[in-house]
Chain A
Amino acid sequence: GAGVSQSPSNKVTEKGKDVELRCDPISGHTALYWYRQSLGQGLEFLIYFQGNSAPDKSGLPSDRFSAERTGGSVSTLTIQRTQQEDSAVYLCASSFLGTGGRLSQPQHFGDGTRLSIL
C-alpha cells in the first residue's frame, strides 16, 4: 500500500530489554514524526526528522529513547532498558513539507506499534 507502514504492530517484552520500532513513511515525504499515545490520552510528540536537517529531539522523554532515519526514508525508534511506563502505542507519521514547509500539509499516520512492557 501507499500509506505509512509500521512494524511490528504489537510488541510484548520484559522490563529492561531493548526494543526497536520501525517506520516506513510514504514515498516522497520529506518529514517524519514519532508520537506516543498512552491509554486514553492524546498524542505526545517524541522526535521529528525533516530532510537532511538535524532532528528535533525535544520530545524524547529520556536518554533511553533514540531514533534515526536512514537515507531520508525508513526510521527506527529505539528504547533501551524498557520500563513499564514505556507501555503505549507508538505512532509514526509523515508529510511532505518541501522548501518553506507549508503549514497546511497534513501528517499521515501509520497504524502504530502497541508496546507492552511486562
Chain B
Amino acid sequence: AQKITQTQPGMFVQEKEAVTLDCTYDTSDQSYGLFWYKQPSSGEMIFLIYQGSYDEQNATEGRYSLNFQKARKSANLVISASQLGDSAMYFCAMREDMGRRALTFGSGTRLQVQP
C-alpha cells in the first residue's frame, strides 16, 4: 500500500502567488515525522521543512509552511509569494518511529512558476 501519496503530478503557479502541494500519508504509528524536499533540475535534494506528529503548531520556514491535518493524515506544503527559482520537483516523505529509519517518499509534484 502507498504510504505517501502526492496526487498532483504537475502544478502551475503565477509568480508572487501562493501554491499548495498536496500530500497524504498512511501509517499506524503514533509517532512519525513528515518532511518536504525540493529537487531542482540540477538534481540535488534540498530539505525544506519538517513536521512531527506530536507538534501542535504547523511548521513554518520562511516562505514554506505546512498545513498539517493529523486526523485526515495530510501534510500539505504551502509556498507563499512564489518565485521563479521555486520551479522544481517537490517530494513529501515520512519516517515512522517504529519502522525503518529511512524515508518513504511520494512520487513528487513538479511545480512550474510562470512569470
B20 at the interface (CB under 8 A from A): no
The A-B contact count (CB < 8 A) is: 61
Contact: B100 with A48, CB < 8 Å? yes
Q: How far is the CA of A109 from the CA of B97 in the complex (A)?
A: 21
Beta-carbon contacts of A88-102 to B below 8 Å, as 1s and 0s?
A: 010101000100010
Pair A101/B35 contact, Cβ less than 8 Å = no
Q: Are A103 and B45 neighbours in the complex by a CB distance under 8 Å?
A: no
Q: Are B101 and A42 in contact (CB under 8 A)?
A: no
A-B contact pairs, 14 of them (CB 8 A): A33-B102, A35-B102, A35-B103, A43-B45, A45-B100, A45-B103, A48-B101, A48-B102, A50-B101, A59-B102, A104-B33, A104-B52, A108-B47, A112-B44
> Footprint of A on B, CB under 8 Å?
4, 31-33, 35, 37, 43-45, 47, 50, 52, 91, 93, 95, 97, 100-108
